[in-house]
Amino acid sequence: MASKWEGEVEVVKATENALLIRPDEDEEKEGWVPISLIDAESTIDGDSGDGDTGVLIIPNWKAEELGW
The model's pTM: 0.90
Beta bridge partners of 5: 58
Per-residue pLDDT of the chain (68 residues; tens, 9 = 90+): 569 999 999 999 999 999 999 998 666 889 999 999 999 999 999 999 999 999 999 999 999 999 99
Domain count, the chain: 1
Sequence-separated (6 or more) residues with CB below 8 Å from residue 4? 39, 57, 58, 59, 60
Assign 3-state DSSP to the chain and report helix, strand, coil percentages, each to 5. 15, 40, 45
CATH code for the domain of 18: 2.40.50
Domain span holding position 25: 4-66
